[in-house]
Amino acid sequence: MKNYLCKIYICLTLIAVFTFQISAQQKNEILAKAGSVVISKDEFYKRYEFTPHLKTKTARDLESTKRDLLLTMIGEKLLAQSAIAEKIDKSRDYLIMMQYLRNIYLRDALYKIEVKDKVVLPDSDVKIGRKRILKTLKSKFIFSAEEKESRSLYSSLMNGASFDSLLQTRPEKDEQNESEEITFGTMNKKLEDVIFDLMPGDITPPVKLAEGWYICKVYSVTEKKFLEDQDKRNVDKVISGRIEDDLYEAFYKKFFKGVNVTADRSLFELLLKTVSNYVNENKILFKEKRNNKFRLVEKDVYAFKPKMPAASLDSVFIKTSENPITLSQFLDYFMLQGFELERLDEAYIRNRLNSFVKTFIQNELLAREALKRGYDKLPDVAADLKSWSDFYLSRLMMKNAYTEDPVSDEEARAFFIKSSGSVPQDDKVKIAEILVNDLQVVEKILNELDKGKDFKELAKKYTLRDSVRNKGGVFDYFSINENGEIGKAAARMKVGDIFGPIKTAEGYSIIKLLDKKEGKNQLFKNFEEAKDEIKGYIHTEKLYKRLNGEAAKLALDYGVEINDAQLRAVNVTKINMVVFRRFGFGGQLIAAPYAPDFSSWYKEYEDMKKKLSL
């Protein structure tokens, strides 16, 4: 329920996770303009610091890397303008994604205003916290779900029974081979208020928490003599978090009091039957659980949605008083959010689906409340959504361009004759990959890599890609123009580099470059042998030529201005990183859009300018 950023640094051997806040020195000056297209210092700074930026062909140092990213962002925004002209912003894919993102950012804004901004640290709590943080206790506990049993156990202890002997008769002993180390903030505040005043050998009376009753024994107490600055920061963080939890709970209860929004029962049963049938008919796809969970994602929804009656998909599923939600609209959210299962029996799926629908309704009502208050127009929300909008429009533009301009046999034959059968070959790379579909799992993997765990062993444990799991995620050599963003990233890596996560249609990929082979011309004896190779080569050349030309022409129409002095003044780190943002009321995304280098359009733009000046 918290709203914070986790930053993950990625370089050859270093991955560290810590909380990050944007430096106050980064003022929102304009770094670049192209007509109505504007890139602010703040937007550039977020993109640079929050996303990976591998070396490009033109990047020689930090300043040229910064410039290439700025040119990539300008090119991205220019393509977004072209996408709007082609009405791609009216496409279903774009509208679904932006609705999903808008709701996340709206809920986050509501959380910030109703919860986060209301956190105030009482001096009395700070004083108590600073006293407690000097202590480290070692303790064990006896747990009971029943008050009567807990009172009876406590009575026995007060009459001389041995705590350790009683503990040995109970199931909770198995998780307490050693006494647990307790510091300020590591346990429930209600229990902490009792235990921190005790001395070694003392036992707490039964303390009731949500799950049951606890009796704790203190085995030792050690105390620091001096309060360090980090201790003070930790105290503030713990108290702030606890107050935030209380404010969240109070707002949640008040907001949803008396609210009664339901899902259509018959459509729910249809969805349950469809999902249950799909997962059980496709058990081969779920033959092994990953991280103890099965996960349905975009491709699964596209597989089972056409099997549902069209009339049902267009029917109202969530019965809100205004703008009711159809089953098809709900499945859009289902697809983007992902649906996790630990088992495949229908009773379990029913419970999970019930919970999922309830969460969707709550999220939708929170987002609608924020929209009603106009939070979509808050500067930070509007800026973030504009950045994501430009990114997705440019990616859809690129996707459309790739499917167009097919290469004919005549074009390929003409190339074969002109080159005397000598066809250029792309560089080839060999990688190991860990594919997952959960950013929290990504974070866990990166932490394990930081601790020195072997990449291939982690691939065997975590990757969702069955075909390479037993090989430690290792792919055979492939062209850098294959496998989408993975190939593009690998092309710019050095052997031994670890990079990711890379967002793909299948999830999130973390890759390690194992080897790279320079592409050489291959001589083919006849056209039929060379045809597919030639078509692939020409198609790739056409794609980049078209995209570069499109961006360059728009830049020429608008006129590009780059404030080099301001760009040089942006202070950035020298370490690659990717940042995950966790949003208020739940949700997690990469904090800023990530796109591979697209600075090549600028050279074509300069060439166009020179031709016009002649």
For the chain, what are the domain ranges? 135-223, 425-520
pLDDT digits (tens, 9 = 90+) for 345-356: 889 999 999 999
Q: Phi/psi class of residue 60: alpha, beta or left (left: φ > 0; alpha: ψ in -120 to 50)?
A: alpha
Rounded CA separation 128/122 (Å): 10
**521 contacts 422 by C-beta, under 8 angstroms:** yes
Residue found by looking up tokens 């492939």 in the block: 478
Question: Who has greater pLDDT, 421 or 339?
Answer: 339
pLDDT at 553 over 80: yes
Task: Confirm if 134 and 258 have CB atoms less than 8 A apart.
Answer: no
Does residue 74 sit in helix, strand or coil?
helix
Rounded distance between C-alpha atoms, residue 575 and residue 467, angstroms: 33
425-520: CATH number: 3.10.50.40
Whether 414 shows a pLDDT value over 50: the answer reads yes
Q: What is the pLDDT of residues 305-337, one digit of tens each?
A: 999 999 999 999 999 989 999 999 999 999 998
pLDDT, residue 287, reads: 53
Tell me the DSSP string of 152-187. HHHHHHHTT--HHHHHHTSGGGGG-SSPEEE-TTSS
pLDDT at 270: 96
Calculate mean pLDDT across residues 267-271. 96
- Measured CA to CA, the distance from residue 39 to residue 178 in angstroms comes to 56
Closest CA to 386 of 603, 571, 601, 593: 593
Supply 202's token pair: 């003392």
Averaged pLDDT for residues 223-232:
92
| pLDDT, average across residues 216-244 | 94
Three-state DSSP at 589 gives strand
Selection from 196, 246, 238 nearest residue 221 by Cα: 196
- Nearest to 572, CA basis, from 57, 19, 64, 15: 64
Q: pLDDT per residue over 494-540, tens digit each?
A: 888 888 788 776 778 899 999 988 877 778 888 888 888 888 788 87
Q: Do 606 and 71 touch, CB atoms closer than 8 A?
A: no
Cα–Cα distance, 567 to 565 (Å, whole number): 5
More confident residue, 72 or 27: 72
Q: Which CATH architecture has domain 135-223?
A: Roll (3.10)
Q: How much is the pLDDT for 166?
A: 94
pLDDT of residue 12: 32
- Composition of the chain by helix, strand, coil, percent to 5: 55, 15, 30
pLDDT at 380: 93
Q: How confident is the model at residue 579 (pLDDT cuts 50, 70, 90)?
A: confident
CA distances from 472 to 434, 439, 455, 478, 514 (A): 9, 20, 8, 17, 12
Q: Is 10 helix (H, G, I), strand (E, B) or coil?
A: coil
pLDDT tens string 77-90: 999 999 999 999 99
120 or 479: which leads in pLDDT? 120
Question: pLDDT by residue (tens digit) across 429-469?
Answer: 999 999 987 777 888 888 888 888 999 999 999 898 888 88
Q: What's the maximum distance between 2 C-alpha atoms anywhere in the chain?
A: 102
Position 610, amino acid: K
Reference 22, options 52, 36, 42; nearest CA is 42
317: which residues sit within 8 A by CB, 6+ positions away?
263, 264, 267, 268, 324, 325, 326, 327, 329, 330
Q: Inform me whether the pLDDT recorded for 10 exceeds 80.
A: no
> What is the tens place of the pLDDT at every residue in 153-171?
999 999 999 999 999 999 9
- Fold match between domain 135-223 and domain 425-520: yes
Q: What pLDDT does 299 receive?
A: 86
Q: Are 183 and 133 in contact (CB under 8 A)?
A: yes
